[in-house]
A = this chain, B = another copy of it.
């Protein structure tokens, strides 16, 4: 069924629940306009500079990192429950070597506002344009976090994306 546009905060609990498990699809486009997806389990939603903002952390080693730097935008996509397994798949292979969306039978579709595509099969899509980015400061996290989550010094950049459009399928809650 066709999606409708909804407010940026309308599906907060559903989105953060899905972020927690199985993960959300962070979708971007490389410099050859090929769509790419990675799975994120971390991020936050809120308000900065009087704008609704989705903050996503991306390690500098990730293929997605260069894509977002290139276009200055990204989309965040909530998988339906029946496709939840795809979060694990998109989180374990790299867009450098795989056309993940084709392999996962997911369909990229043009966004309304940003260059990065949205995923048709996902039940909620956030279109975001980067309004700020800053880096994790290694000395400013507890040493346990540094040791366990950054053993190779591959730190995150936090991309602050202004939420410009949100699309949702009908009956989102039943499809999670």
Contact = CB atoms under 8 A, between A and B. Distances in A.
A45 B47 contact: no
Size bracket, chain A contacts: 20 to 34
A102 interface: no
13 contacts: A9-B20, A16-B45, A42-B46, A42-B47, A43-B47, A44-B53, A45-B46, A49-B141, A49-B149, A132-B140, A133-B137, A133-B140, A134-B135
Interface of A: 9, 12-13, 16-17, 19-20, 41-50, 53, 55, 57, 131-137, 140-142, 145, 149, 158
Oligomeric state, in copies? 2
B46 A55 contact: yes
A55 B20 CA distance: 17
A6 to B, nearest CB: 13
Contacts of A13: 9, 12-13
A165 to B, nearest CB: 18
A57 B71 CA distance: 26
